[in-house]
Amino acid sequence: MIKKLDHIGIAVKNLQETSRFYEEVLGLKVVGTEVVSDQKVRVAFIPLGDTRIELLEATQPDGPVAKFIEKRGEGIHHIAVAVENIETEIEQLNEKRIRLIDACPRKGAHKLRIAFVHPKSSHGVLLELSEPQKI
């Protein structure tokens, strides 16, 4: 079950410079950054109501965000939806023959377990399923 929009991921060339835009121009607050080595990104979090914006800066030239920027430039990279149970969601999408990038959940930023749906299967949008880690 999809519960809500968890975050919107935006690919940026420079996290510091972009953070200034969100803080100084839009008056939002960047509350923290985190390196997700699995995904080759550095992420900055910007809470916005019940959801948040995540700014994504590549940490390695062969990572997904670096490749995205090289091909398309900066911009919206993915949207993430919070799900109740990520394994169930993956199973159901598999049954519906939806192309998944991740067969099993991986470790994402913000203590999330994540899995991506391929944009070719979701009408051009890279879709992230996310479930908070159970502690």
Binding to ligand CMX by residue 56, rule CB under 6 A? yes
CA distances from 104 to 34, 43, 80, 90, 96 (A): 22, 22, 16, 8, 16
Within 20-49, the residues that bind ligand CMX by CB under 6 A are: 36, 39, 41
Side-chain half-sphere of 111: how many Cα atoms within 13 Å?
Answer: 4
Taking CB under 6 A as the criterion, which residues in 68-97 touch ligand CMX? 68, 71, 77-78
Candidates 44, 82, 93, 126: give the one binding ligand CMX (CB under 6 A): 126
Question: What is the total residue count of the chain?
Answer: 135
Per rule CB under 6 A, count of chain residues that contact ligand CMX: 20
How many Å apart are CA 8 and CA 22, to the nearest integer?
A: 14
Tell me which of 6, 8, 9, 113 binds ligand CMX, using CB under 6 A. Answer: 9
